[in-house]
Structure 1
Amino acid sequence: MPHAYRIAVVESDDLIRQLIVQWLTEAGHTVTVAQPGTLADLQVDLVIANVSSPRSAAPLVRRLKALQHVPLILLSARLGRGQGASAPLIGLLGATAVLPKPFTHGELMQAVETAMA
């Protein structure tokens, strides 16, 4: 069984947030739904956050990284599948992973395990 992590989820879309929380909870993780401004008060191992556009996400990422010195997975509907754009964006933004929406259960679980490795 994989290790259980404390994960903060910053996602404004109700349906996607509920699905992420369900998948992570079913996998044994402790999940807290948060806003960027409330992350400083949390003790977490990982942050998963939605960004409206990966290219314009740098200010949010800097803010999140300043609040929590933990791995960061970004979610974005603006990053299309098959673009091959996530690798440069990961380095550019300082994120551990960037997942394009929609993503599968398996993709999310793999991103979590990779981020925590």
Structure 2
Amino acid sequence: MSEHGRVLVVDDDETVRDVVRRYLELAGHEVTVAGDGELALSLVARAEPDLIVLDLMLPGIDGLEVCRRIRQYSTVPVVMLTALGEEENRIAGLQLGADDYVTKPFSPRELALRVSSVLRRARAVPAAAPARLVEDGDLSVDPSARKATLGGEDLSLTTREFDLLLFLMTNAGTAFSRTDLLEKVWGWDFGDQSTVTVHVRRLREKIEAVPAKPARIATVWGVGYRYDRT
């Protein structure tokens, strides 16, 4: 499964754009750049890329607003660039539907590897996933088509949300810690566990009748989360 694609890099720092472009092109990606949010939105509307690298601190329309607008019509993977210590903005970005993040200052090589990893996951059926439909009442997940429906209606899920839902449903009844989920769904050996918390919250908003009182994705206090069949 290919891990190369068309990547839009959005950052107001020309040096950062040039360095990121060079590393991504060396990794085999086709790269377009934008220095502000307005141009980024125009480029996405004109020809949606396979992935967006998005700095949150942009002049004019900031990265959070760019992400919010894109998520109104697209599930294209978004990797955020955030400054060290900007936890509040990072959480806000994840809540708006970003798939991943890298903190500045960052290694361009690490960012290129993260981009390839997200693209690979967005296109591939997880190795542990069944080939057939995974169903629970009116909720259905098709691993091969990477499509999920609820009550016959398509669910708009980001790459990470889809992978998380599929993993939990495939392992229904088993409790997993946030560390377990970071490793098994994100493929991270370490990372910010709040990433998992935010994605679970977003999933509940999309699949639970009453998100504040979830019937499917249960919180297991002191452990993490468990999927309960309805």
For the pair 1:72 / 2:96, whether they are aligned, the reply is no
> Does structure 2 conserve the Cα–Cα contact (< 8 Å) formed by 1:40 and 1:67?
no
Task: Please point out which of 45, 52, 60 is paired with 2:50.
Answer: 45
For 2:12 and 2:112, the matched residues in 1 are separated by 20
Question: Gaps spanning 5+ residues in structure 1: where?
Answer: none
For the pair 1:113 / 2:119, whether they are aligned, the reply is no
Give CA-to-partner distance per residue, 1:51-109, whole Å, 9 cap, x none: 129xx8543311132354310011122x339x7x95x5564231111111111023202
- Higher Rg of the two aligned structures: 2
Matched with 1:33 is 33
For the pair 1:4 / 2:4, whether they are aligned, the reply is yes
Matched with 1:93 is 96
Task: Report the secondary structure of 1:12's partner residue.
Answer: coil
Task: Report the secondary structure of 2:72's partner residue.
Answer: helix
> Does structure 1 conserve the Cα–Cα contact (< 8 Å) formed by 2:79 and 2:101?
yes
For 1:15 and 1:67, the matched residues in 2 are separated by 31
> Does structure 2 conserve the Cα–Cα contact (< 8 Å) formed by 1:57 and 1:93?
no
Question: Gaps spanning 5+ residues in structure 2: where?
Answer: 122-230
For 2:73 and 2:21, the matched residues in 1 are separated by 21
TM-score (norm 1): 0.77
Identity %: 30
Task: Report the secondary structure of 1:73's partner residue.
Answer: strand
**How far apart are residue 45 of structure 1 and its match?**
0.5
What do you get for the CA RMSD once the two structures are aligned? 2.8
Aligned residues: 111
Higher RCO (C-alpha 8 Å, min separation 6): 1
TM-score (norm 2): 0.42
CA 1:13–1:57: 2 relative to 1, 3 Å: closer
For 2:106 and 2:70, the matched residues in 1 are separated by 22
